[in-house]
Structure 1
Amino acid sequence: MWRWYFSLLENSQRYGIAWWIQKLLLVFSLFYQAGIRLRLLGYRWGVLNIYRVPIKVVSVGNLTAGGTGKTPFVEWLAKALQKFLPSDYICLLSRGYKQLDSGVNDEYLLLQQNLPSIAHFTGKDRVALAKTAYEQGYRLAILDDGFQHIRLQRDLNILLLDATNPFGYGKCLPAGLLREPMYAIQRADVVILTRVELCPPTSLAQLEETVLTYKALPIFWLKFSLRRCYELFRGTAYTLDSLPPLFAFCAIGNPRSFLLLLEHYQITPLGCQIYPDHHIYSQKDLDKLIQQAQRAGAKGLLTTQKDAVKIQFLRSSFPVYVFELEADLVKGEETFQSILRSLCSSDR
């Protein structure tokens, strides 16, 4: 279903039922954009309130519906901020969308695993979370997925654009993947192009030019590289050339990026199963994946770390290999560090 939907977004149809569905999605997209415009006008005219809290707020978000590599960048950002502030002054704020039975979601589990020393507050009311964090002694909050959360005033507004699909097929949901029109770039203080390792420099230069037509602002490049590959239930590390034939699966906002990553590392899975973003896996899901993999002739499953934190509590004698990524600024890191240093040293 999800592969069919993404195929529908990628390929313009001229006939058949797919053409009619695309036209219907465009109609829904127009209503969606109208709602977005009304909401933005509400904040501009003061009908909706923007709250400023004592704690400094760094927002990290994107224009498209997930899949920009936001979570590994938040990890990188939290570690970068620790050069200028103690870790017990820094915290994370997030919505906690699609929580597991434990009361937290996949992003929380992933960040908790990779950032054990950073406190993480989750809830619908990010303004209340920020106030609570300040009362508990924290002085800087990273607002995860905060670009559209205008209700909370921020000191630095970071916009991530996935270089492999920066503008979500150029249309707003559901006809495309844009959460809001491209002119929203004007609200950003800095733009970071992610997954630059998957794009030629000429494409990145063109993307920079497009961004600068909306606003003159600093643009940085972020790449993702493989930190390690390991088997989930045994913890054993593997080199890429020692991996058996694999069947891939994921439940992330931009599944195409996962397939491009595999291609980048010259891994060709025998099949791939795509689930909706933040899908909560059941034992039945995992058992079905194992059956699919075995029918395809695979000797193991391969997935992302974000998916792995949700299936680590399930049972499997069939190997599940995990790609764990790390982020690295490859263009403008010194300038970006200077921005963070100024933010941390300034008074509210």
Structure 2
Amino acid sequence: MNLSWIHGVQSGADRSLRARLLRSCLWVLSLGYGFVVLCRNVAYQTGWLRSRRLPAFVVSVGNITTGGTGKTPLVGWVVQALHELLLSEKPDNQAQIAILSRGYGATQAGSNDEKAVLDRICPGVPHLQNRQRARIAAEWLASLLPAQTLKRPAIVVDDGMQHRQLARDVELVVIDATHPFGYGYLLPRGMLREPLSQLMRADWFLVTRSEMVSQQQLSSLREKLLKFVPEDRILEVEFRPSRLINIQGETRSLSDLESVAYLPFCGIGNPTGFVQLLKHWLPAASAQMKGTLQIFDDHHHYTPPDLDELGLLANAHGARWLLTTMKDLVKIPQASSHGVEFWAVEIAPHFREGDERLRQYLKDRYESLNRSLVD
């Protein structure tokens, strides 16, 4: 099923009779989904269900919608910030920190695209993947040396907002400025995983792709988020391309895109965001874009026929490169297809302001928890 067509139905952009009938059906289904979500949240709020508290500093990075909001590079940023903090606390010891995720879309080898990207961003940091996240995290903590318990280890939960089985000390919620509230409806009618009222659980909001919308749109979004947190806990984040990279680790300058014809493709939660990023940050390279963006499902595992078809399509359009995201590149085992090279745009999060406030907040919360060990 075509992803852009689904979004057309959910957003209301598709006004055809078929789309209107489907929206009505999806709305009925969303009532059932909403009831289940409501019961679950009430169970946690009343204490009928309890979150498991682990002897670690737990930071959750999540969102309230489906689709790509840019969590993965922000998880990497948080890991690096905590790594610096733990090393400052224990300069003579290795920092004890792990990433925890469900492992959605993982292969039989036990890895998925987010893990592969985070392994590049945070080399050497354990990435624990299991549906039973609290259990696997507890096992990792038990494996550490007893001396490490004098200072709490840190765990960063990737996509953790809806994972309420594990108690967290900091809740960071990522909001995509280009598509903040999932068309205003719960799944499957819209893309909300929970009602907007559950944003009250957030400690900070990280508004991504802030460079892709107008200041008026940002101000309107900020006004909505102010219902849940103070203004100084809403940070705007840009994703800036840094270089091109291939599966062999070779790199090229971004300026090379201005002279080489390329065909873009991706299989991520917000595929149009990839082209928007290219057009915004690399406008001079737009003339070299051939054909249209080739869209695959989120977390798509590329097969030899997929890569073969991409190479043939690129040749048909006269493209020398197939350009994609890091999340896609790490799942492509070959450097080229029919003579067309695969390259990815490597990006990094850039806070417009306030990142030092967030670092200080993490430091204060971590030190507070450590003081409780002594007390």
Q: How far apart, in 2, do the equivalents of 1:113 and 1:256 lie?
A: 24
State whether structure 2 residue 362 is matched by structure 1 residue 340: yes
Q: How far apart, in 2, do the equivalents of 1:269 and 1:61 lie?
A: 35
**Aligned to 1:88, what secondary structure does the other structure show?**
coil
**Aligned to 1:191, what secondary structure does the other structure show?**
strand
The equivalent residue for 1:181 is 195
The equivalent residue for 2:276 is 260
The equivalent residue for 2:123 is 116
Deviation, 1:232, is 3.8
Quickly say closer, same or farther: Cα 1:151–1:119, change in 2 above 3 A.
same
Deviation, 1:177, is 1.2
The answer (yes or no) to whether the contact 1:50–1:153 under 8 Å persists in 2 is yes
Deviation, 1:212, is 1.2
Structure 2, unpaired ranges of 5+: 88-93
Q: How far apart, in 1, do the equivalents of 2:67 and 2:272 lie?
A: 12
Q: How far apart, in 1, do the equivalents of 2:306 and 2:14 lie?
A: 32
Structure 1, unpaired ranges of 5+: none
Worse-superposed segment, 43-52 or 97-106: 43-52
Quickly say closer, same or farther: Cα 1:133–1:269, change in 2 above 3 A.
farther
Worse-superposed segment, 36-45 or 9-18: 9-18
Aligned counterpart for 1:170 among listed residues 181, 184, 189: 184
* One-letter amino acid matched to 1:270: G
Aligned counterpart for 1:226 among listed residues 228, 238, 241: 241
Quickly say closer, same or farther: Cα 1:109–1:234, change in 2 above 3 A.
closer
Kindly provide the CA deviation profile for residues 236-286 of structure 1, in whole angstroms up to 9, marking residues without a partner as x: 413334442221111111112112112212234422111111111111111
Q: How far apart, in 2, do the equivalents of 1:120 and 1:250 lie?
A: 24
**Aligned to 1:82, what secondary structure does the other structure show?**
helix
Kindly provide the CA deviation profile for residues 204-234 of structure 1, in whole angstroms up to 9, marking residues without a partner as x: 1211101112444611111111121134457
Q: How far apart, in 1, do the equivalents of 2:229 and 2:13 lie?
A: 30
Quickly say closer, same or farther: Cα 1:330–1:136, change in 2 above 3 A.
farther
Kindly provide the CA deviation profile for residues 133-167 of structure 1, in whole angstroms up to 9, marking residues without a partner as x: 22233711001100000111000011010111111
TM-score by length of 2: 0.87
Give the length in aligned residue pairs.
348
How large is the Cα RMSD of the aligned pairs?
A: 1.9
Aligned counterpart for 1:91 among listed residues 80, 98, 106: 98
Aligned counterpart for 1:301 among listed residues 308, 314, 322: 322
**Aligned to 1:249, what secondary structure does the other structure show?**
strand
Structure number with greater Rg is 2
Quickly say closer, same or farther: Cα 1:293–1:51, change in 2 above 3 A.
same
Aligned counterpart for 1:272 among listed residues 293, 305, 308: 293
* One-letter amino acid matched to 2:179: N
* One-letter amino acid matched to 2:359: Q
Q: How far apart, in 1, do the equivalents of 2:171 and 2:132 lie?
A: 19
Q: How far apart, in 2, do the equivalents of 1:173 and 1:293 lie?
A: 36
State whether structure 2 residue 261 is matched by structure 1 residue 245: yes
Deviation, 1:105, is 0.6
The equivalent residue for 1:49 is 50
The equivalent residue for 1:102 is 109
* One-letter amino acid matched to 2:154: L
Quickly say closer, same or farther: Cα 1:313–1:53, change in 2 above 3 A.
farther
Identity %: 35
Q: How far apart, in 2, do the equivalents of 1:98 and 1:76 lie?
A: 23
Q: How far apart, in 2, do the equivalents of 1:15 and 1:7 lie?
A: 10
Worse-superposed segment, 108-117 or 301-310: 108-117
The answer (yes or no) to whether the contact 1:270–1:297 under 8 Å persists in 2 is no
State whether structure 2 residue 195 is matched by structure 1 residue 144: no
TM-score by length of 1: 0.94
The answer (yes or no) to whether the contact 2:51–2:166 under 8 Å persists in 1 is yes
The answer (yes or no) to whether the contact 1:304–1:324 under 8 Å persists in 2 is yes
Deviation, 1:189, is 0.9
Deviation, 1:33, is 1.1
Quickly say closer, same or farther: Cα 1:237–1:303, change in 2 above 3 A.
same
The answer (yes or no) to whether the contact 2:204–2:234 under 8 Å persists in 1 is yes
Q: How far apart, in 1, do the equivalents of 2:333 and 2:180 lie?
A: 32
Deviation, 1:203, is 1.5
Q: How far apart, in 1, do the equivalents of 2:336 and 2:323 lie?
A: 16
Worse-superposed segment, 41-50 or 312-321: 312-321
Deviation, 1:181, is 1.2
Q: How far apart, in 2, do the equivalents of 1:140 and 1:327 lie?
A: 21
**Aligned to 1:85, what secondary structure does the other structure show?**
helix
The equivalent residue for 1:27 is 28
Q: How far apart, in 2, do the equivalents of 1:305 and 1:122 lie?
A: 19
Deviation, 1:325, is 0.4
Q: How far apart, in 2, do the equivalents of 1:11 and 1:294 lie?
A: 36
State whether structure 2 residue 304 is matched by structure 1 residue 283: yes
The answer (yes or no) to whether the contact 2:82–2:154 under 8 Å persists in 1 is no
